[in-house]
A = this chain, B = another copy of it.
Amino acid sequence: MASSAPSRVVETLREEILNGTLVPGERLRQEDIALRFGASRQPVRDALRQLEGDGLITMVANAGAWVSKLSERECYEAYQMRERLEPLLLSHSIPNLTGQQIKRLSDLVRDIENSHDIEQFLRLDREFHLLSYSGAEPGMLREFVERIWNTTQHYRRAYVKLSGLASSEVTHLEHKLILDGIVHGDAVQAGQALEGHIRRTRITLSQHKEIFS
């Protein structure tokens, strides 16, 4: 059975926002989307509300829907939240990670280091971090973390484009430290490395305010 119309719309639009096809500030017309998916406007409205709930788009009554934008302050705040939430989530996840998953994490660290195109880097980096959380039970904490990742994705891409892949030497070291903590089941080490990883990214990001113009 094919999933419902609204969920197909949600999935597709979410993907397009995350991969940069749709950029922050871009308007989403209900009619256009309905036409594109061969559906009427009701399921589209449903889908837009869901995306709004995920923070990916912003709706204004009697006006329309736009892909959400973050100010530099909001992005800074998002990273402060990540610093506090992700080590917690990782500590919930580590005890439940399987050998297979840890192997994949290890491969990802290597592939990230060897990646030479920006989209690939972003995709692998995202997979590494989110996979490292996959041992945690589903719940609010995982939802929140994923939501922060989604709403900041565009600015992460903008930053990597700006500074280039070459400058991510420290990132690779941090990934190795996190992985080492995971491998040894040491949530404290992994958590501290992760916190530092996010913290450094936050500070670096705040030195490139031009991303938010």
Contact = CB atoms under 8 A, between A and B. Distances in A.
A114 interface: no
Given A80-B88, A85-B81, A144-B144, A74 B139 contact: yes
A203 interface: no
A92 B84 CA distance: 15
Contact count band on A: 20 to 34
Contact of A49 (B7, B49, B78, B80): B49
A73 B139 CA distance: 9
A148 interface: yes
Interface of A: 4, 7, 42, 45-46, 49-50, 52-55, 61-62, 73-74, 77-78, 80-81, 84-85, 88, 92, 137, 139-141, 144, 148, 151
10 contacts: A4-B62, A49-B50, A50-B53, A52-B53, A53-B54, A77-B139, A77-B141, A78-B140, A81-B141, A84-B85
Q: Which of A46, A49, A61, A88 has the most CB of B within 10 A?
A: A49
